[in-house]
Structure formats: C-alpha cells, structure tokens
Amino acid sequence: MRVAIASDHAGFEQKQQLVDFLASELKVDTVDCGPDTDGRVDYPDYAVKVANMVATGAADRGVLVCGTGIGMALAADKVAGVRAASITTPEFADLFRRHNDGNVVCLSGRFVDLDVNKDIIKVFLTSEFEGGRHAERVVKIMKLD
C-alpha cells in the first residue's frame, strides 16, 4: 500500500513523526508531500497534493495533518474521488473506513496526541469497507463530485 502524507505548519511536527511511523513501523510505501520545514504555509496547498495523488491512484490512501484536521478535510473533499474527513478517535477511523470508504484521513496536530493519531492511522489502514448498503450511499456521495 502507498500512503501520501502532508501537513501545514500546525501539523508539521506530528507529520514528521508520522512519516517515520508509516515507513518504519507500519512498513508502508510512504510519500511525504511536504512541507519540509515548520514555516507558515496555507493548508489547501498541501491538501490538494495528497488529494490529487489519491484521486489519480498514485497513492492508495492519504493522511493530512493541520491544527484541527478540519481545514485539510474541507480542501481535500473538493477533489473528485476523494472522501476525506477530520478524525479524532480510532473508533471514528474504523467507521470512516467501514461505512464511508474514506480514503484521506485528516488529523489534528494541535488537539490530539501523537499516540492517538498513530492508532487512528493504524485503524484507517487496516479496517475494510463493508460495502452493501453503505456502497449505495457512497455512490450517491460520489455522484455529487
């Protein structure tokens, strides 16, 4: 599995640690879409990098980190084919996969501990979409693209 990850300045510190976690501990092919420093940047510029990779199939899943996770989700969801949401618990990560077939998880670097975000990512990468009645609903969402 290939995972694209990016942040803004508010999520930078956690993003650096999560790149390491993905590559070294989870051993997934990890593409760091930046930024490379903690200087101030605009989160939509980084959300779109990851969203485009997922939408085109260049990555299977995406991870975005900003202060709350909310701005990243708003921006990433504008890209056709992306289903992004701000996720703050492993339980929601599980439902996001099982019911919504989420493909981009957006994390809070300011309000959620690194260990919780690691658990969220682990669940996000392992929980499977249930299909069935949920698939019909996801198709309705994707028709709105």
Catalytic amino acids?
Answer: 66, 99
Least distance to ligand RB5, CB of residue 15, Å: 11
143 burial type by CB count under 10 A (0-12 exposed, 13-18 middle, 19+ buried): exposed
Nearest Cα neighbor of 93 from 122, 52, 62 is 122
Q: Of the two residues 14 and 52, which places its CB atom closer to ligand RB5 in the complex?
A: 14
Select the residue interacting with ligand RB5 from 3, 4, 5, 8 (CB under 6 A).
Answer: 8
The window from 26-34, 68-76, 112-120, 130-138 that contacts ligand RB5 (CB under 6 A) reads 68-76
Which residues inside 89-118 make contact with ligand RB5, applying CB under 6 A? none
d(CA 94, CA 81): 20
**Region of 53 on the Ramachandran plot (φ > 0 left; ψ -120 to 50 alpha; else beta):** alpha
Q: Is 70 in the site for ligand RB5 (CB under 6 A)?
A: yes
Least distance to ligand RB5, CB of residue 64, Å: 10
Q: Is 35 in the site for ligand RB5 (CB under 6 A)?
A: no
What the block records as the tokens of 93 is 């990560």
Which residues inside 42-61 make contact with ligand RB5, applying CB under 6 A? 43
d(CA 140, CA 18): 33
> φ, ψ for residue 38 (rounded to 5)?
-90, 15
Task: Tell me the sheet residues that pair with 29.
Answer: 2
The window from 15-23, 45-53, 62-70, 95-103 that contacts ligand RB5 (CB under 6 A) reads 62-70
Residues at the site binding ligand RB5, with contacts judged by CB under 6 A: 8, 10, 43, 66-68, 70-71
